[in-house]
Structure 1
């Protein structure tokens, strides 16, 4: 039985990766920071370590055939930055994988990263990818367009009564469900593919995403289009007036919204179904006593 070590296992994608590799018959070792918070993971074993501290990784990859890292910061809450996590922690994992003779290292990146290297979150990831592709260890880089969970902001705005778009809302994206992305990662790494730009089965413009959110809620569409100058001004101002945990993700999303984010179409999950499930869950939560 082959063994995979999954880093970032407790995140949105990591949980799907653990389930997918177990479904495919692999022995799954999940790298976690706190075992007590990860007991629900579909993994054969939980390995407690801190990837930002390389000494805690020593010897953990003996006998591992594949490392898959979805490790990265989404919401900064512990004082660590993108350089410490998205770059250095992944580099620590890579060096330990090299020492242990791991067969392949797969990394979850960002679509269009080469066009966003001025964004600190993306720059840290891109610098790690540079190190990964220069390493002697065979590697697979998977660059998703965006997650279903990211698109929930459109649903949130629609529930609030209005969706705000920049410009004409014509930029396109094909977000992907975590389960579909986990399958794409498995297949790419198994095939020895070096790079995969990937997205979900359905391509939307931002305006179509807004219309979909209102349609799911069965409400008339109320969409306001802001000049793109507003987006550019926010990019300039937010780092000066908000903490890093706020402006870091905002810089990424505001930058990505100005370009098409369309990867190879994969998967069977559809965003409309996801929106319906989220809307129903939110309504049930609000109706609960």
Structure 2
């Protein structure tokens, strides 16, 4: 089927991963259509991309937008937006709206970016994604479920804590993951799709414990590691409090992080970019920006 795919439609195209999927598709010669929300920042999308302005949570705006599309890749999901939408509204229902439109338009394949999980979904985010995957796998078209286990951008929260002087981890810090750079992930996704894979688990090139990730953050800052481990019950109590008094964009990422601290999530190794280099690049960029600000005064 891969040789029949010429036009790709990307949902979530303005996000961290979506932008990189768009770039990878273009580098491989695909025509790309990108779904963008009204008013969203599209400055990162190349001019050769056809931008389609619509709202995935509003089915009426999607009518006819996938005509001529061979493959849909959805990296659409709720992250830290501050609107009143829920994970079920976006990670499940909005993707379901896209799937229905794809089936109606005769799209050949629908690929969805899920997360790498083990066992029963333990967060609202993963539960919504898993519900969509269950529906997707019964759809009357070719499907592919993509399961990365963490982006470098997710690990930046640990670097930010290190900048403030201390990293707080839930658990004993021994849980292991192998997060992946967004561009490496996009390449691995396209490799899998071009090989007609149905289900892809993807991790980065280095398997690291949470303690080791924290150490890399302090190393990039040239500081001594200061890590505090909190028992799981403290994390659960904090989450319960957040869910009662804080908005979803505060407790949602914390809930996902809390569940990630409970067991290893190691995917097959892909890519070449290291988390250490990513942290050092961020620190270097930050230092350069600070110096520019000083010299411009």
Q: What is the deviation of 1:226?
A: 1.9
Q: Deviations over 1:8-27 (max 9, x none)?
A: 00000010011000000000
Aligned residue pairs total 288
Residue 106 in structure 1 maps to residue 96 in structure 2: no
Structure 1-normalised TM-score? 0.95
Match in the other structure for 1:246: 250
Question: What are the ranges of 5 or more consecutive residues in structure 2 without an aligned counterpart?
Answer: none
Match in the other structure for 1:208: 212
Poorly superposed stretches of 4+, deviation over 3 Å: none
1:161 to 165, 176, 180: 165
How many Å separate the matches in 2 of 1:185 and 1:72?
A: 17
Secondary structure at 1:134 match in 2: coil
Q: What is the deviation of 1:188?
A: 1.4
Match in the other structure for 1:262: 266
Q: What is the deviation of 1:114?
A: 4.2
1:27 to 31, 40, 48: 31
Checking the alignment, whether the CA contact within 8 Å between 1:34 and 1:48 is kept in structure 2 is: yes
Checking the alignment, whether the CA contact within 8 Å between 1:113 and 1:126 is kept in structure 2 is: no
Residue 2 in structure 1 maps to residue 6 in structure 2: yes
How many Å separate the matches in 1 of 2:187 and 2:44?
A: 20
2:84 to 79, 88, 100: 79
Secondary structure at 1:143 match in 2: strand
Q: What is the deviation of 1:47?
A: 0.7
How many Å separate the matches in 1 of 2:193 and 2:93?
A: 22
Q: Measured at CA, do residues 74 and 252 of structure 1 come closer, stay the same or move farther in structure 2, by a change above 3 Å?
A: same
How many Å separate the matches in 2 of 1:204 and 1:91?
A: 35
How many Å separate the matches in 1 of 2:182 and 2:74?
A: 14
Structural RMSD (CA): 1.5
Q: What is the deviation of 1:71?
A: 0.3
How many Å separate the matches in 2 of 1:239 and 1:110?
A: 22
